[in-house]
């Protein structure tokens, strides 16, 4: 069941400004238009955007409490207090702990240690168990990273045991802040730091930058930390704008040129060794492998890897993490396959507006990702359930514009428990209520959802002709990187393109198309393109018929050599009049 997508082309930028930038920078008007659409207003702003500089980073002392944090840390190091570096088990938390630990160990390794709470027994955030561990082992300062902004009672509990806290968080604070020595969080309402979308690891980095400034340590000594920082920025899905874009730019440089041993081992295991690693590579390949460590016995494994100074240790820990990640991926795939089979066998499935599937034996840990996969395939609100502790429990995912939480809430009388927000939720119910719940949920979705919401949208930046895609064009376009939330890879439309006859089906089930595309007034040159899951258009293209495509432009690496390749996002058949 292929879902027809709606293409929406953005408003072009102000034409006078586009012409001006194009002339002043000597670039194609289409590129100038992309800059204007990104809110760039002068050639100077454009240069700053295209060539990020480290001096664009903000002064860390603009962050509220930074002085207090640096003073407390300096005192602890001077008096050889024991310091515990504490962070969550996800990628942001473990990279943050690794960043602060690997920097500070140069200034007092003997008194430093780190602690990652157990995902299953302690959960997110600062735990009482963690504080007890600190107390029993003589730590008197905890640096909490990527967590702690709401830990009012926990910080109090620590204070009663002689433990101080420095909190470095990026989550939204409550009205009442914990009474720590310092609370660094750019989202504090009384913090006037100019950029509030740092990752948790980013807040930890700003802390180390401030510490280095006070100690007279040159900024260059911090550059080796940026490989960790870019991994957090990509994995925590913070925006790639402002200060994050500068940090991500230099972070990718570090990650590609001289990654730390632990990251190099993950890069090798991900098959990225000869690639120019991008934000997407981190999101889809590097991040999940670090996350896999958080799912093992201890999230500490991730920090062990990311701070390892020994090639052999890094390789061994990396291998273990990779095995766990592969196990989980196999589990995902198996359950997704079973869920698709089950869904498609439901009577009148095509006419329904929601997908609800249940199998008592599925593994609870992967239901969220399976629900997301089903949303990708069928594009409608989806719930995937299994049996746990005698109840039916599971994860729900929505599509843009549909409030899933409200839909679940409307069935609350049949539920034991539920929680979440508009796009993602969790729920628990008794087995005897399942059939009734499924019907009511479908009825509710049917009554509320519109054809408009059920039509997926592709946002397109602008039109482009193949003859505009020159090496120079691509070189400038590359400088729009790093791409990610807030700075997406531009999507173009080209109309009436043909395959030159060399196109073929590729992939293990021949589901993808590898094409060599030409455009009507430029038959001499072809551009290679890949269209994932679009093999249904093969016959149409093979017979020499034109299509309209929308796509982004990327580099494809084959045996270490980079070539321009169009990543086709969608194809529309052009009906030729006779």
Q: How many CA atoms lie within 13 A of 506 on its CB side?
A: 10
Q: For 181-242, what is the HEC assignment?
A: CEEECCCCCCCCCCCCCCCHHHHHHHHHHHHHHHHCCCHHHHHHHHHHHHHHHHHCCCCCCH
Q: Which is nearer to Mn ion, 92 or 304 (CB)?
A: 92
Q: Which is nearer to Mn ion, 172 or 276 (CB)?
A: 172
Binding site for Mn ion (CB under 5 A): 92, 146, 200, 236
- Closest contact distance (angstroms) between CB of 234 and Mn ion is 12
- Closest contact distance (angstroms) between CB of 306 and Mn ion is 16
Q: Which is nearer to Mn ion, 41 or 187 (CB)?
A: 187
- Closest contact distance (angstroms) between CB of 170 and Mn ion is 6
Residue 565 bridge partners (DSSP): 554
- Closest contact distance (angstroms) between CB of 169 and Mn ion is 8
**501, exposed or middle or buried, with CB in 10 Å at 0-12, 13-18, 19+?**
exposed
Angle at the Cα of 231 (from 225 to 233), degrees rounded to 5? 100
* Strand-pair category, 504-506 with 512-519: antiparallel
DSSP-assigned letter for residue 89: S
C-alpha to C-alpha distance for 458 and 462, rounded to whole angstroms = 12
Q: Which is nearer to Mn ion, 96 or 222 (CB)?
A: 96
- Closest contact distance (angstroms) between CB of 204 and Mn ion is 10
CB 225 within 8 A of CB 208: yes
Please identify the residue of the shown chain whose CB is closest to the bound Mn ion: 92
Sign of the Cα pseudo-torsion (453, 337, 395, 331, in order): negative
Q: Which is nearer to Mn ion, 199 or 307 (CB)?
A: 199
Q: For 354-391, what is the HEC assignment?
A: CEEEECCCCCHHHHHHHHHHHHHHHCCCEEEEEEECCE
Q: Which is nearer to Mn ion, 148 or 381 (CB)?
A: 148
Who's near 570: CB < 8 A, 6+ residues apart?
5, 7, 458, 549, 550
Q: Which is nearer to Mn ion, 31 or 145 (CB)?
A: 145
- Closest contact distance (angstroms) between CB of 146 and Mn ion is 4
- Closest contact distance (angstroms) between CB of 88 and Mn ion is 7
Tokens of 525: 């040159």
Helices 287-295 & 311-345 angle (0-180, nearest 10): 90
CB 225 within 8 A of CB 106: no
- Closest contact distance (angstroms) between CB of 283 and Mn ion is 14
Residue 84 bridge partners (DSSP): 113, 142
Nearest CA among 318, 421, 313, 462 for reference residue 7? 462
- Closest contact distance (angstroms) between CB of 198 and Mn ion is 9
Q: Which is nearer to Mn ion, 148 or 394 (CB)?
A: 148
Q: Which is nearer to Mn ion, 147 or 356 (CB)?
A: 147
- Closest contact distance (angstroms) between CB of 379 and Mn ion is 29
C-alpha to C-alpha distance for 529 and 517, rounded to whole angstroms = 7
Q: Which is nearer to Mn ion, 169 or 461 (CB)?
A: 169
């Amino acid at each position: 069941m292929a879902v027809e997508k709606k293409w929406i082309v953005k408003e072009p930028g102000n034409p006078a400004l586009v012409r001006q930038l194009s002339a002043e920078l000597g670039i194609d008007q289409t590129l100038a238009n992309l800059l204007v659409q990104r809110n760039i207003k002068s050639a100077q702003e454009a240069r700053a955007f295209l060539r990020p500089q480290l001096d664009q980073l903000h002064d860390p002392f603009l962050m509220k409490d930074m002085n207090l944090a640096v003073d407390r840390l300096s005192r602890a190091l001077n008096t050889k207090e024991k310091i515990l570096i504490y962070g969550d088990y996800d990628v942001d938390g473990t990279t943050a702990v690794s960043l602060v630990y690997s920097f500070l160990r140069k200034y007092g390794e003997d008194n430093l240690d780190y602690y990652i709470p157990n995902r299953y027994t302690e959960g997110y955030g600062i735990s009482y168990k963690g504080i007890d561990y600190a107390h029993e082992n003589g730590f008197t300062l905890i640096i909490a990273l990527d967590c702690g902004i709401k830990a009012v009672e926990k910080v109090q509990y620590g204070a009663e045991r002689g433990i101080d806290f420095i909190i470095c968080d990026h989550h939204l604070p409550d009205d009442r802040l914990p009474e720590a020595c310092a609370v660094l969080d750019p989202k504090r309402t009384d913090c006037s730091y100019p950029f509030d979308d740092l990752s948790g690891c980013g807040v930890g980095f700003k802390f180390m930058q401030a510490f280095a400034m006070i100690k007279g340590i040159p900024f260059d000594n911090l550059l080796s930390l940026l490989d960790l920082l870019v991994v957090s920025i990509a994995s925590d899905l913070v925006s790639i704008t402002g200060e994050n874009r500068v940090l991500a730019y230099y972070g990718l440089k570090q990650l590609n040129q001289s990654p730390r041993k632990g990251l190099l081992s993950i890069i090798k295991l991900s098959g990225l060794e000869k690639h120019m690693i991008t934000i997407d590579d981190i999101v889809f390949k590097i991040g999940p492998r670090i996350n896999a460590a958080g799912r093992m016995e201890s999230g500490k494994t991730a920090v062990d890897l990311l701070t390892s100074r020994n090639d052999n240790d890094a390789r061994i820990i990396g291998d273990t993490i990779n095995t766990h990640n592969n196990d989980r991926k196999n589990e995902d795939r198996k359950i997704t396959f079973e869920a698709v089979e089950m869904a498609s066998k439901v009577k009148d499935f095509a006419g329904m507006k929601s997908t609800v599937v249940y199998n008592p034996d599925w593994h609870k840990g992967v239901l969220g990702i399976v629900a997301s996969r089903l949303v990708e395939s069928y594009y409608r609100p989806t719930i995937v359930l299994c049996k746990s502790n005698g109840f039916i429990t599971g994860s729900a995912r929505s599509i843009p514009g549909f409030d899933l939480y409200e839909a679940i809430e409307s069935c609350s009388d049949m539920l034991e428990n539920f929680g979440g927000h508009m796009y993602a939720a969790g729920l628990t119910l008794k087995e005897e209520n399942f059939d009734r719940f499924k019907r009511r949920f479908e009825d509710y979705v049917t009554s509320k959802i519109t054809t408009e919401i059920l039509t997926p949208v592709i946002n397109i930046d602008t039109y482009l002709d193949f003859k505009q895609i020159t090496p120079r064009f691509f070189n400038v376009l590359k400088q729009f990187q790093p791409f990610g939330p807030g700075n997406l890879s531009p999507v173009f439309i080209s109309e009436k393109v043909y395959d030159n006859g060399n196109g073929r089906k590729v992939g293990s089930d021949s589901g993808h198309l590898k094409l060599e595309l030409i455009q009507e007034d430029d038959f001499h040159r072809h551009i290679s393109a890949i269209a994932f899951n679009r093999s249904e258009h093969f016959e149409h293209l093979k017979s020499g018929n034109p299509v309209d495509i929308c796509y982004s432009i990327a580099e494809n690496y084959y045996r270490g050599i980079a070539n321009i390749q169009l990543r086709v996002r969608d194809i529309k058949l052009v009906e030729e009049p006779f």
